[in-house]
Structure 1
Amino acid sequence: MNMAQRERRALVDAMSTVGPDAPTLCGDWTVRDLAAHLVVRERRPDASPGIMLKPLAGYLESVQTKAARRPFPELLEDVRTGPPWWSPLKPVDAVANMTEMFVHHEDVRRGAPGWAPRELPAADEAKLWTMLRRMGKMAYRKSPVTVELATPDGRNAVVHTKSGTAKVTLTGKPSELLLHAFGRDEVRIETAGDPEAVRTVLSLDRSV
């Protein structure tokens, strides 16, 4: 079982445990809303482009709202089984859904007070580091200063360079840094750099 499949299974278990009305880290979305988002993303290719394309966002919202009205167990079953054979995501599930399932699993776990980071296998952290280096450039593209990501074991990557400016370094496990790059603030990371520059980086719009 690959990481995407394991995270998908754990996500569904977490959703089932906390229930449909529990909060998530996805703005004002409840667990039910998040489940509907995942189902539409994987099973409604007519609506899912609205996730990235603003002119189609209204249609996406209407489809997602309708999906959210379905019985919660049905939504969870669709999330659990993943993209159907005809979905464009099916052939690339292991890659396209690895970060998606990991991030949304943590959205559910960290949606309520009292959460603690998980201890992921080293191989999983390595996979997340690879993905982080790829998408970090997009996440921190709006930064007015240079941004470096680093791990406690010595890995580092400059994901945004701004000539003649201060440098801010964010340090944490790849899993924590990835969540931050995806716009989540409920993370365990350390910062280094000019205090004002650090505050600027932490408050960036990191949407991809």
Structure 2
Amino acid sequence: MAERKLYLYTRFERFWHWAQGLLILTLLVTGFEIHGTYSLFGFEDAFTVHNFCAWTWFVLYAFIVFWIFTTGEWKHYVPTFVKMFEVIRYYSVGIFKGEPHPVPKSERVKHNPLQRITYLGLVSLLVPYQMLTGYLYYFYNQWPQMGWGWELQTVALLHTAGAFAFLVFVIVHVYMTTTGHTVGAHIKAMFTGYEVLEHDAPAHDSRP
């Protein structure tokens, strides 16, 4: 079986991927403890760690957005419906039959249509939503000075709903990393930066 390596993930991209993943997991663990789901670190320590990670994530997110737009990586997140249903069918049925991926990775196409919409929604909607509800929650004591009369419980529920959305994403994302030509192929690629192309998968173009 012929294999070729394609360098797709830059050093900074790999760094922010793992850093963001660690921050999200830490925020989930400490956030659910703050809500009284269990006791692991203790409320005060969980609160301190949660806030530190929240501000760290905010700074990292700013760098990520800046990097995406200044390097031209935004092109890989432009949504497309070309071969969308083929990709959905592949992950629903084709992958279990050993069929080839309908949109193999290439230098021009780093993410398939399903990934594009998912990642775009994550970066442009879910992350800002979670940060906004989190910081509203954090600055609760300043609400009266700003003339805001919202219910704290409402903001807390909105923030918790976002946390569950992230939890679902993490679970699905981890599962999807096992769908490469080997169980650990995609995970290895996010460490080395190289994706392994099998058979006659194109290295320069993979339309859509």
Larger RCO of the pair (alpha carbons < 8 Å, separation 6+): 2
Structure with max Cα Rg? 2
- Asked if these proteins are the same fold (TM beyond 0.5), I'd say no
TM-score (normalised: structure 2)? 0.26
TM-score (normalised: structure 1)? 0.26
